[in-house]
Structure 1
C-alpha cells in the first residue's frame, strides 16, 4: 500500500490520536468558543458515552471533563443526513442525564459541550459558504427577534472541515493547524510541512497517523471502514439522484396538467367573451362551461 499516513477522520486513527489527553486538550482549546480555557482533562468511563442507534460513521466515545466540570462529547462525523440534528440533540441530552445518580441534586449537573467534527457540508446557504464553525446555544427570543438570556448547560459546536480555508491573518494559527491536519492528512501525496512539525501537539498527532505505526489487522479494519464509507456515500448519492429524478418527473407531470387546465379555461373564456353581446350570463355559462362569477368579470371588463 503506497500510503505514508492514514486519515485521522477514520475511527481507528481518530481514537488513537485523541486518546491522548494532552492532544485532545490542545485541540479543544484551539477550535472551541470557550469562556475559559481547558487546563486539565479527565476521560469519562466509556459506558457513559451516549449510545445512539445507526451511527456507523460516527465516533461518540471520546468523552471527558475539565477542571471546571465541563463535559465534552467529541464526535467525528463522516457523512451528514437530515436526521443528524436530532441525533446530536439526543447525545447531548444523554450526556446531561448520565451525570445524575439516584439521590443527586440537579445543582450538581455540569455544562455539556457537544462537539462534532464534520467531514461533510450541511449548511448550503450561499451566505454561509465561508462559515465553517457553527455554535448553537439555547437562548431566549427577545423582542424584535433579538436574542436575550442564554439558558446555560448545553451547547453544540459543528465544524465543517470541507469549508475550512484560512484566508486572513485573523485566523488563529493553532486552530488552522489542527483543522488542516484533520482535513489534509491521509490525502494522496500528503507530506506534513514545517508548520505542522514545528508545533509539538500537531507534530505528535501526525506521528500517530503514520501508516507504519499500525498492525496488519488494524490496517485491514481501516480499509474495511473506508470501503463501507464509500458504499454509504454511493447509496446516499443514488438516493438523492433518484429523488431528484422523481421530483423532476412529478414537476413535469404537474406542469403539463396545469398547462392543459389553463388552456381549457382560456378556451372557455374566449367562447364566453364572444357571446357577451348575444346572451345573458346564465345562458353563456351553460354554453361555455365557464363559471358565472368569471362571466360577470368579463362583462364588467375586469
Structure 2
C-alpha cells in the first residue's frame, strides 16, 4: 500500500550531495545505516561515529565523487574506519582499493607504530551491475589465506552492494538492511509516493522527511543537479572507453586472424612444394 504524498516531491538519496547531507551531518542516521549494511560480527554494534576530514583520502583526478569517511566505535570498545562511496560504473571498483589503502596509511602519524592502525572498511553502494550472471548483490571481500580462508589479514575489507540486483526477499532476517536498501532503491527523483512501511522506522522516516525538495535551497538544488551532470559524463566516458576497447579487440582479432591465415597458407605452400618435389624426385 502506498502512502500518497501529494504535497511533497522527493529527491533521489543516491545523489552524492544528498547522501553526504543525510549521513554526513546526522550521526544517528549513519550509525543506523552502518549497523544495517556492514558485515559486523554477531552481537557487534556500532555505537558512536566521528567524521574524519576529507584529507584522509588522496584525491584522484578522475575520481569525481567524494568519499564519506568516519571512525566508528563499537560495543566492544574497538575502533575502525568506514568509507562510503556511491558508485555508478564498474570501473570504480579498481580505484576503491587505492582510496581505502590511502585511508589506512594516512592514519600513521610520525612516530606511531603500525599496530596502532585501525582497520578500514569500504562500503560501496553501486548503482550498476558489475558481476554478470550472479544473483548475489552483496559482496564482501577481505584479505585471506588462499588455502586456509579462516586465516585473515586484518586491515582492509571491501563491501560492494549492487543496488539494481537487490530484492527485499533476499534479506528476510535483516529488517533494517531491507528498509535502508529499499530507501536507496525505491526513492527516485520526483517521487510523490512512498510505501508506508518505510515510515515505520524512526531513522528512515526522518531521512525521508529530509528528502523533501522544498527543504533545499536553490544553491543546494543546483549542487544536486551538478552531481547528476557529473554522473552522466562519467557513464558516457565509461561507455565510450568500453566501446573503444571492443573495437580495439575486434581489430586485433582481425589482424591476428589474417596473420594466422598468412602463416598457415605459407606453411601449406611449403609443405605442398616439398611433397611435389619429393614425388618428382621419385619419378
TM range (shorter): 0.7 to 0.9
Q: TM-score, normalised by structure 2?
A: 0.83
Counterpart CA distance in 1 for 2:22 and 2:88 is 17
Q: How does 1:17-166 map to 2 (within 5 A)?
A: 17-18=22-23, 19-35=25-41, 36-54=43-61, 56-67=63-74, 68-81=78-91, 84-85=93-94, 87-124=95-132, 126=133, 129-142=134-147, 146-166=148-168
Q: Which has the larger Rg? A: 1
Q: What is the CA–CA distance in structure 2 between the aligned matches of 1:236 and 1:191, rounded to whole Å?
A: 33
Query: Following the alignment from structure 1 to structure 2, what is the Cα–Cα distance between the partners of residues 217 and 93?
Result: 34
Is contact 2:137–2:161 with CA below 8 Å preserved after alignment?
yes
Q: Which runs of 4+ in 1 moved over 4 A?
A: 187-190
1:139/1:147 contact within 8 Å kept:
yes
Q: In 2, Cα distance between the equivalents of 1:268 and 1:105?
A: 69
TM-score by length of 1: 0.79
Deviation, structure 1 residue 228: 2.2
- Distance verdict in 2 for CA 1:171–1:237, change over 3 Å: farther
1:257 Cα deviation after fit: 3.1
Change (3 A) 1:122 1:57: farther
Tell me: higher relative CO, structure 1 or 2? Use CA pairs within 8 A at least 6 residues apart: 2
Give 1:294's aligned residue. Answer: none
Do the aligned partners of residues 48 and 42 (structure 1) sit closer, same or farther apart at CA in structure 2, a change above 3 Å counting?
A: farther
CA distance in 2, matches of 1:96, 1:56: 18
Aligned length: 271
Give yes or no for contact 1:57–1:79 (8 Å, CA) kept in 2.
Answer: no
Question: What is the CA-CA distance between 1:274 and the residue it aligns to?
Answer: 4.2
Q: Compute the RMSD of aligned alpha carbons.
A: 2.6
Give the Å deviation of 1:24: 0.9
The answer for the alignment partner of 2:259 in structure 1 is 257
Q: Retained in 1: the 8 A contact 2:85–2:124?
A: yes
1:72–1:203 CA distance, 2 compared to 1 (3 A): same
Instruction: Provide Cα deviations, 1:184-227, integer angstroms capped at 9, x if missing partner.
Output: 32256462102211222222222222211111111111112211
**Cα deviation, residue 241, structure 1:** 1.4
Rate the CA distance shift 1:12–1:264 in 2: closer, same or farther, 3 A.
Answer: same
- 8 Å contact from structure 1 (residues 49, 60) kept in 2: no
Contact 1:9 1:78 in 2 (8 A): no
Q: 1:275 to 1:28 in 2, by over 3 A?
A: same
Unaligned runs of 5+ in 2: 1-7
Give per-residue Cα distances to partners, 1:66-107, cap 9 Å, x unaligned: 24212222222233316x43x323332333333333443444
> Is there any run of 5+ residues in structure 1 with no aligned partner, and where?
281-302
The 1-side partners of 2:178 and 2:45 are apart by 19
**Greater shift in the superposed pair: 70-79 or 89-98:** 89-98
